[in-house]
Amino acid sequence: MSGGDDVADWWRTGIIDMEPGRIHLRGRPVQELIGTTGFAEMIWLMVMGAPIAGHRAKLFEAALVAAVDHGPQAPSIAAARMAATCGVGLQSAMATGLNMLGDVHGGAGEQAVEMYRFVERGGPEGLATALDAWRAERGRYLPGFGHRFHKPVDPRAPRLLSLVDEAAEAGAVSGAYAQIARAIEAHLATERGKPVPMNIDGATAVIYAELGCPPPLARGFFGLSRTVGILAHAWEQTEQGGRNKGPTPPAYRWTYDGD
């Protein structure tokens, strides 16, 4: 390479093209996007490389809105609040919370998309067999179902699925993954003899599957959504004050089980 191409080609991107006085994002001048494009639509354009509109945009935004927060008992929120009392800046507190999102806390949406597609390959009559195969490989836990707090229903799930139904009636999505998720929920209720609610991860995974997202992006979009709650709690804790707050009040002690 010559003429500086060896440097320019070090990073290659189809996301942004820029020179003095000009910024194009995914081929569109930024000034045309400002004031005409919603934030959720902008997220989709940047990540997926194509615009989103109508019922599909409404679904995507609904998924982002639904998962913003679940209170200080959520590890990501608790970590951000604790960090905010330790003398770090707001962005460091946010990063602390965001870094708590992993395979267990924050990863269920990605896993649920994978599970829905796994079940889909087995066909409508193969649900039980597909779930048995999934459990044999992944363990008894079915991502996106069950909730330690919200019983017998996670209030977010029915609303999200009703929006999927509306989009399916309008022909914007297939509705197939909503059917699969409801079938899994019914199967679990029969299996256990009591309701096993679809939770926020299962419901948002329906939307991301309906929109054609690769499974890892379901986790990524959840992280974007939860960052809103992390920011809100970190800022609230900053305003409330407090110094070096741990996970429990000082009067409580841990259990020592050593010799």
Question: What's residue 125's pLDDT?
Answer: 87
Per-residue pLDDT of the chain (259 residues; tens, 9 = 90+): 456 678 888 889 999 999 999 999 999 999 999 999 999 999 999 999 999 999 999 999 999 999 999 889 899 999 999 999 999 999 999 999 999 999 988 899 999 999 999 999 988 889 999 999 999 999 888 999 977 676 788 899 999 999 999 999 999 999 999 999 999 999 999 999 998 999 999 999 999 999 999 999 999 999 999 999 999 999 999 999 999 999 999 999 999 999 8
Check if the beta carbon of residue 98 is closer than 8 Å to that of residue 234: no
**Distance of alpha carbon 191 from alpha carbon 206, whole angstroms:** 22
DSSP-derived pairing of the beta strands 16-19 and 22-25? antiparallel
Question: What's residue 106's pLDDT?
Answer: 87
**Distance of alpha carbon 168 from alpha carbon 125, whole angstroms:** 22
The structure tokens listed for 103 are: 């395979």
Burial string for 104-130 (b: 16+ CB within 10 Å, else e) reads eebbbbbbbbbbbebbbebeeeebeeb
Quote the pTM value: 0.93
pLDDT in tens, 151-186: 788 899 999 999 999 999 999 999 999 999 999 999
Containing 78, the helix (H) or strand (E) segment is helix 75-84
pLDDT in tens, 26-38: 999 999 999 999 9
